[in-house]
A and B are shown apart, each in its own frame.
Chain A
Amino acid sequence: MGKKGILVDMHYCTGCHACEIACKQENGFGVGNWGIRINEIITEKPNSDRVHFDYLPYFTLQCNLCAERIASGEDTKPSCVKHCGTACMQYGEIEDLAKEMAAKPRAILYSPL
């Protein structure tokens, strides 16, 4: 088995916070501790009145890709991926995800360790 990771399609993350709370519940994290955190990035485009909003989920040192959840057979997906409001996250082998990534205009691929 190859290395696992999570692919995030940045075009669709709305910043709904579901992944953050899913992770806290899954891992019993208290206030101040996160496995995943959302960043809001507001870009004022030059020569345009249109402002661009991006939400970027990023993973912390605490994220182990829900190792126990997956290993125990309880689920095939990490908790954040399952509950993502827009299903903009995918879990899998990084080689497979990298292929998917090529077809997406803007995406990030995360893999710990």
Chain B
Amino acid sequence: MRMEYDRIVNTTTWSAGPGCHGGCGAKLYVKDGRVVKVEGDENHPWNFGRGCSRLLAMTQYMYHPERILWPLKRVGPRGDGNFARISWDEAYDLIEENFNKIKENYGAKAVIFIQGTGRDIGGPMSLVAYNYGSPNWSQLGLGGQACYGPRLGAMSCIQGDTSVADCSQFFEKRFDDPRYRLPNYIVVWGQDPTRGCPDGFYGNWIIDCMKRGSKLIVVDPRQNFLTSRAEHHLQLRPGTDGALALGMLGAIIENGWYNKEFVEKWCLGFEELAERAREYPLDRVASITWVPKEQILAAAKAYALASPGSAIQWGLPIDQAPDGVIVAQAINDLWAITGNIDVPGGNVIARNAYHVSAYPFDNYQLADMYGDDFVEQVVQKRIGSDEYGWLRKWRCYIQPDVAVRQMLTQNPYPIKATWIQTANPVANAADMRLHYEALRAMDFNVVIDLFHNPTTMSVADVILPAATFAERTGFRAWFQPVQIISPAVNVGECRNDWEIAMDMAQRFNPELKKRYPNGIKDYMDWRLEPTGMTYADLQARGGWKWGDEEGSAWVPYKRYERGVLRADGKPGFRTPSGKVELKSSQNAEWGATGVTRVDPLPYYQEPFESEMSTPDLFKKYPLIMVTGRRSAVFFHSEHRNIPWLRECDPHPDVEIHPSVARDLKLENGEWVWIENERGRIRRKVKINAGIHPKTVSVLHGWWLPETEGRAPNLFSAWDVNCNVLVPTGAQSRTGYGGNAYKTTLVRLVKMHDGSPAAPPVSVWGRG
């Protein structure tokens, strides 16, 4: 069909809209101030013109009849769903007044600021928190803070820098750059990159490499597209990744398959690691992980002997394994002793171009912005920092499992209000009911979002409507390149998340007006300064720039030899010793600043609930529920209301092995109860031979926007969302990592006559 349009706006995706971590080049076709079509940008080296289902459905998302178009305030009791339209000024006044009252009575730390995943709002939200004066910036509901933070922290301790699988993303010419070499093997560990783009990594880069010749080793409890095409598949028991990594380390060391030259020159603690790994002989590892010994050995051999030049691409289940940081450490050690750090086709060091970031995330960068004294205060008061030394040293978040309990007990200090920005914790938090009750206990909740959802309905007192990426100014600096986000249109009175954050920050701290008189425009140009370009300059040159200055810290490879990684300019890694610390002094030291002790060497810890750790519970609930499988058409709790997308994945299902279906007399498509001691939910059975017979697999984030939104139903969130069953309080010893998202024990119960009918699923109707 020929689409009429007046202009095309080239921009970058990030957050609201497709919802993801972004990076794709997109073309927005505009007609009379309305986006009429969205396509991928064929000139953009990130995605080469491709667009995912969620990008291509943008017009349905932006112009959805139920989109919130102006600020609202609650009228009537919470849960009744009655909101009245107010102006932006009224909304800001209301928030300012309430937050200031709380500050007077309880201090600024009585407000928690809540973001969701790695989206563009994270950092700018901290502007509001810190300028208001609260140290409590959080991802509330994320049990164990288990999302990339543990992996990033582990890498920071061990090798001083983040690494990612090298799919040529650090070069503008991509696969054609002569410096680049394809990974011999890619180990895809606990991730399905065909279903989304995690941690700033475009998922289909894995396919791009496969097509060019990379072979696969896949570590996943589930069989799928990638395992079908992998040379090796290790179908492990959920949560046992740490044992598997230690087994592989032991096999590689014992057989001399490691890179002796790299280990001698650049690693510290190899003997201690070898000794620790000897505690994990393959027989023991096989019995812990369910993976036959021969398969572990064969995969370890294939990977090690094809190194240097093989990559590990890992996923969220590493963070969510018991003691996630430690599991990440073991896997980091694997790519270190095989000499794969910062070599072509290996695990390349991932510095941001020009060291630009959209916002400060760690204490050093924050000190730059707010001064040392302020940072010291924040660190001392941050929820969880007494218990967990890591909370003082690593990142700026509070410990979410501790925080939710503090909201309910009001101990050691009161928490009275929240600021929830594009997060939806009521439908996304582990132990939803606990979070629901904690948020209900607050005096005042501000929610910034695009649609009504279980969170707006149940706890919002003021709602501010956020813009999609297509309606906003911004920039993205996550590894490479530095890219800008250009607005194409306005929708209703919706506002840019960054602008909302800056507006409120300036209300709480008028001094900020002096620093950024033109608001986010000044903020962005300040952050972009190291590139030597302003927002307008970047826009004029097409919207993105790969940093490729010869000899700079952001250009691969082997930077540890060049002396560009460390502040002192000496060769080596950015660790205390300058070496890759297989035995991590920093990990232990960070831990030692709190009350918990942290082992400097990796070890295996059994899941919170399992056949081994809770045998009695296991007898009652013999199936391991693995949550968090991704759908290609949804991002976390979003997109269930987008007709084109919902039609592709219409039902909240539970995937089970045919033998489980036989045992329980379940048919494809019938509704079944999933239960444990915390409650029960309903799901539709999907029989899938790729699921391990001792596990069941469910998508998280489900609610049914087509059903009643008012309490108590809350869009059926209690009915279908797996977080009803997932506990909190299972965080690891660093406070970072753990929780039972992948290892919650459940049973399935067939519905009998008298069971409620299937929930209606009709939002996509015939419209």
Contacts and interface: CB of A to CB of B under 8 A. Distances in A.
Nearest to A86: B207
Interface in B328-366: none
Interface stretch (B418-426, B512-520, B604-612, B644-652): B644-652
B225 A87 contact: no
A21 B689 contact: no
A44 B228 CA distance: 11
Nearest to B692: A49
A18 B202 CA distance: 14
A12 interface: yes
A99 interface: no
B57 interface: yes
Given A11-B229, A21-B57, A30-B766, A72 B2 contact: yes
A103 B765 CA distance: 43
A15 interface: yes
A87 B228 contact: no
B39 A30 contact: no
A14 B207 contact: yes
A11 B194 CA distance: 13
Interface string B183-227: 000000000001100000001100100110000000000011101
B17 to A, nearest CB: 13
A31 B57 CA distance: 12
A84 B40 CA distance: 10
Interface in A21-59: 21-22, 24-28, 30-32, 42, 44, 49-55
Interface string B752-767: 0000000000001111
B228 A51 contact: yes
Contact of B50 (A20, A26, A72, A83): A83
Contacts of A18: 50-53, 56, 632
Contacts of A22: 51, 56
Contacts of B767: 30-31
A57 to B, nearest CB: 13
A68 interface: yes
A4 interface: no
Contact of B194 (A16, A24, A72, A84): A16
B37 interface: yes
B690 interface: yes
B567 interface: no
B389 interface: no
Interface residues of B, number: 45
Nearest to A37: B648
A17 B632 contact: yes
B271 interface: no
Contacts of A24: 644
Interface string B29-40: 000000001111
A85 interface: yes
Given A16-B194, A27-B1, A31-B764, A87 B50 contact: yes
A103 to B, nearest CB: 13
A52 B688 CA distance: 11
- What interface size band does chain A fall in? 35 or more
A83 B56 contact: yes
B437 to A, nearest CB: 37
Nearest to B645: A21
Contacts of B229: 11
Most chain B beta-carbon contacts within 10 A, residue among A22, A28, A84: A22
A70 to B, nearest CB: 11
B59 interface: yes
A12 B647 contact: no
B109 interface: no
B765 A31 contact: yes
B50 A85 contact: yes
Contacts of A30: 643, 766-767
A51 B767 CA distance: 38
A28 B765 CA distance: 16
A55 B40 CA distance: 22
Contacts of A12: 207, 210-211
B210 to A, nearest CB: 8
Interface in A42-99: 42, 44, 49-55, 68-69, 72, 74, 79, 82-87
B223 A53 contact: yes
B233 interface: yes
A74 B233 CA distance: 44
Contacts of A25: 37-38, 56-57, 59, 644
Given A18-B51, A32-B766, A53-B223, A83 B39 contact: yes
Contacts of A17: 53, 632-633, 645, 648
Contacts of A50: 223, 227-228, 233
Contact of B53 (A21, A69, A79): A21
A72 B228 CA distance: 41
A28 B60 CA distance: 11
B225 A55 contact: yes
A72 to B, nearest CB: 5
B688 A42 contact: yes
Nearest to B36: A25
Nearest to A82: B49
B561 interface: no
A16 to B, nearest CB: 5
B93 interface: no
Interface in B680-736: 688-690
A68 B689 CA distance: 42
Contacts of A87: 48, 50, 211
Nearest to B658: A44
A85 B224 CA distance: 17
Contact of B644 (A21, A52, A68): A21
Contacts of B2: 68-69, 72, 74
Most chain B beta-carbon contacts within 10 A, residue among A12, A25, A31: A25
A84 B50 contact: yes
B688 A31 contact: no
Contacts of B645: 17, 21
A31 B38 contact: no
B632 A15 contact: yes
A83 B57 contact: no
Contacts of A86: 204, 207, 211
Contacts of B632: 15-18
Contacts of B90: none
Given A15-B225, A72-B2, 14 more contacts: A16-B52, A20-B648, A22-B51, A30-B767, A32-B647, A32-B766, A44-B689, A50-B223, A53-B227, A53-B690, A68-B1, A69-B1, A82-B49, A85-B52
Closest 3 CB pairs of A and B: A14-B194, A21-B56, A21-B53
Interface of A: 11-12, 14-18, 20-22, 24-28, 30-32, 42, 44, 49-55, 68-69, 72, 74, 79, 82-87
28 contacts: A16-B52, A16-B194, A17-B53, A18-B632, A21-B648, A24-B644, A25-B37, A25-B38, A25-B56, A31-B644, A50-B228, A51-B227, A53-B225, A68-B1, A68-B2, A74-B2, A82-B39, A82-B40, A82-B50, A83-B39, A83-B40, A83-B56, A84-B50, A85-B52, A85-B204, A87-B48, A87-B50, A87-B211
